[in-house]
């Protein structure tokens, strides 16, 4: 018979393995979208803490980063790039403009269109914030291999494309509504109901 100490150690190892299996089954039971949402929140908290040292929120950082890549774009184009509604982009860019990090000017082709660009101060702040953001990304992905990072990027890209084209997505819903509206419009000069050809009276 095995000594009592060996049996206790064996029981303890079995208990630990059982707890691990239970945790794995519990995590596996969570939906992928639910897990993705939790991941977004967790990464967002880390990003908020990191970027707070530069007086930026994650959304403001993304705006400055996009403006660095695409100069003199409109607020509507910026909203599409960030995946937010055009009405929401105004609340995000006003604080940046107030701090002198971005500037807006009327477009030459249309006065109602405002072009947005980084200022020298905005470029300087972005230059200091980017290395910190890169370091955070490196730390968060440190437990993944290079192939896993590539698979994760490919999977997220495919998921993003599918979600943007889904019927429940606001952009897809607006596009479908606009398409239906166009189908319902009757061309100018044409009657909505077909007219019957007139009968000619035959001579007696």
Instruction: Report if residue 113 sits inside a domain.
Output: yes
Can you spell out the DSSP letters for 32-79?
HHHHHHHHHHHHHHHHHHHHHTTT--HHHHHHHHHHHHS-SEEHHHHH
Domain total of the chain: 1
Of the candidates 119, 137, 110, 105, the one whose C-alpha atom is nearest the C-alpha of residue 63 is 119
**Cα 165 from Cα 173, distance rounded (Å):** 9
**Cα 136 from Cα 125, distance rounded (Å):** 17
* CATH number (domain holding residue 162): 1.10.10.10
Check residue 175 and give its pLDDT: 62
Check residue 201 and give its pLDDT: 58
Instruction: Report if residue 146 sits inside a domain.
Output: yes
Instruction: Report if residue 20 sits inside a domain.
Output: no
pLDDT in tens, 33-50: 999 999 999 999 999 999
**Cα 84 from Cα 170, distance rounded (Å):** 10
Instruction: Report if residue 12 sits inside a domain.
Output: no
Q: Which residue range is the domain that position 67 belongs to?
A: 28-166
Instruction: Report if residue 175 sits inside a domain.
Output: no
Low-confidence ranges of the chain (pLDDT < 50): 4, 7-8, 14, 17-18, 20, 22, 24
Instruction: Report if residue 17 sits inside a domain.
Output: no
pTM to 2 decimals? 0.67
Question: What is the 3-class SS of 121-149, one letter each residue?
Answer: HHHHHHHHHHHHHHHHHHHHCCCCCHHHH
Instruction: Report if residue 101 sits inside a domain.
Output: yes
């Amino acid at each position: 018979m095995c000594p009592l100490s060996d049996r206790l150690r064996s029981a303890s190892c079995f208990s630990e393995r059982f707890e691990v299996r239970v945790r794995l089954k519990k995590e596996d039971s969570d939906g992928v979208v639910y897990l993705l949402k939790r991941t977004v929140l967790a990464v967002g908290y880390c990003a908020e803490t990191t970027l707070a040292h530069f007086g930026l929120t994650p959304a403001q950082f993304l705006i400055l980063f996009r403006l660095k890549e695409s100069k003199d774009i409109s607020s509507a184009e910026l909203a599409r790039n960030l995946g937010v509604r055009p009405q929401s982009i105004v609340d995000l860019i006003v604080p940046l403009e107030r701090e002198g990090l971005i500037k807006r000017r009327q477009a030459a082709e249309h006065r109602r269109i405002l072009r947005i660009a980084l200022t020298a101060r905005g470029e300087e702040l972005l230059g200091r914030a980017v290395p910190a953001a890169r370091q955070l990304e490196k730390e968060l992905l440190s437990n993944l291999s290079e192939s896993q990072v590539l698979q994760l990027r490919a999977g997220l890209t495919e998921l993003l494309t599918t979600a943007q084209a889904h019927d429940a997505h606001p952009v897809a819903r607006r596009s479908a509504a606009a398409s239906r509206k166009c189908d319902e419009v009757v061309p100018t000069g044409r009657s909505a109901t077909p007219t019957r050809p007139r009968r000619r009276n035959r001579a007696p």
